């Protein structure tokens, strides 16, 4: 396989095979990044596909200042962020409280679930918490959201994040600290303590 730089230069010149090689190289990593954020396989597939379509359309403008992975990762992250923030996406999922009665289609209310075992109940609570954490994350300013995702989910170092966000390491540390503080404050309102 040709080197990444060579593939990018060929793709910029219109070589579709070179771009296909870049897709093959990074598609799986981008998919799993999207899956961690979207928590839904179909959405992760769509984000991955959309990210590579955006990259293909914009490849001529790619200036080789960063790696292709960093560039495509940032495109995918922005697509995830926009999708999670969109009202259409948020309204896809109907949430309910496990403690409140649920009205059936016939107008009756269910007060108890068939099984009182803690397994499914804990699983639903865990899913509710994940949904609330996801909601809280996307309510952060994009620079805090991106720094937290890069550091916590992707395992990037301060230096790598600084390069991606075009800022100093001190700024990255500040964004992580402020992002965590804001996230904790938002989650406190939902009764979730990250400590």
pLDDT digits (tens, 9 = 90+) for 51-109: 999 999 999 999 888 889 999 999 999 999 888 887 566 555 545 444 555 555 555 54
CA distances from 34 to 59, 68, 71, 82, 100 (A): 21, 17, 14, 12, 33
When pLDDT is cut at 50, 70 and 90, the band that residue 165 belongs to is confident
Q: Which residues contact 31 (CB under 8 A, 6 or more apart)?
A: 44, 45, 48
pLDDT digits (tens, 9 = 90+) for 9-54: 999 999 999 999 999 999 999 999 898 888 888 999 999 999 999 9
Confidence at residue 118, expressed as pLDDT on a 0 to 100 scale:
46
CA dihedral 109, 110, 111, 114 (to 10 degrees): 170
Alpha-carbon distance of 22 to 166, in angstroms, equals: 24
Confidence at residue 93, expressed as pLDDT on a 0 to 100 scale:
52
Instruction: Decide if 68 contacts 4 (C-beta within 8 A).
Output: yes
Alpha-carbon distance of 9 to 126, in angstroms, equals: 46
Which tokens hold the place of 29?
Answer: 């990593």
Kindly give the residue spans of alpha helices, DSSP state H, lying in 59-195: 68-85, 87-90, 118-138, 142-148, 158-165, 169-189
Query: First CA to last CA across the chain, in angstroms?
Result: 46
Query: H or E stretch including 58?
Result: helix 41-58
The class of domain 1-92 in CATH terms is: mainly alpha
| Domain covering 118-195 in this structure, CATH number | 1.10.10.10
Report the candidate in 75, 81, 72, 63 with the shortest Cα–Cα distance to residue 27. Answer: 72
Confidence at residue 116, expressed as pLDDT on a 0 to 100 scale:
45
Judge residue 52's burial from the number of C-beta atoms within 10 Å of its C-beta, 0-12 exposed, 13-18 middle, 19 or more buried: buried
Confidence at residue 139, expressed as pLDDT on a 0 to 100 scale:
87
Residue ranges of the chain that CATH labels 1.10.1740.10: 1-92
């Amino acid at each position: 396989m040709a080197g990444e730089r060579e593939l990018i230069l060929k793709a910029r010149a219109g070589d579709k095979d070179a771009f296909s090689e870049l897709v093959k190289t990074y598609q799986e990593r981008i998919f799993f990044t999207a899956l961690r954020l979207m928590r839904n396989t179909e959405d992760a597939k769509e984000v991955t596909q959309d990210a590579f379509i955006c990259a293909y359309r914009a490849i001529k403008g790619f200036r080789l200042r960063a790696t292709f992975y960093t560039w495509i990762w940032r495109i995918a992250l922005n697509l995830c962020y926009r999708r999670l923030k969109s009202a259409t996406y948020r309204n896809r999922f109907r949430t309910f409280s496990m403690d409140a009665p649920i009205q059936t289609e016939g107008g009756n209310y269910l007060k108890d679930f068939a099984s009182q075992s803690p397994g499914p109940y804990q699983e639903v609570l865990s899913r509710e918490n994940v949904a609330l954490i996801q909601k809280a994350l996307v309510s952060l300013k994009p620079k805090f959201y991106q720094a937290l995702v890069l550091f916590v989910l992707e395992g990037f170092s301060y230096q790598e994040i600084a390069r991606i966000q075009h800022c100093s390491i001190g700024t990255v540390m500040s964004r992580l600290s402020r992002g965590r503080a804001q996230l904790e404050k938002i989650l406190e309102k939902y009764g979730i303590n990250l400590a």
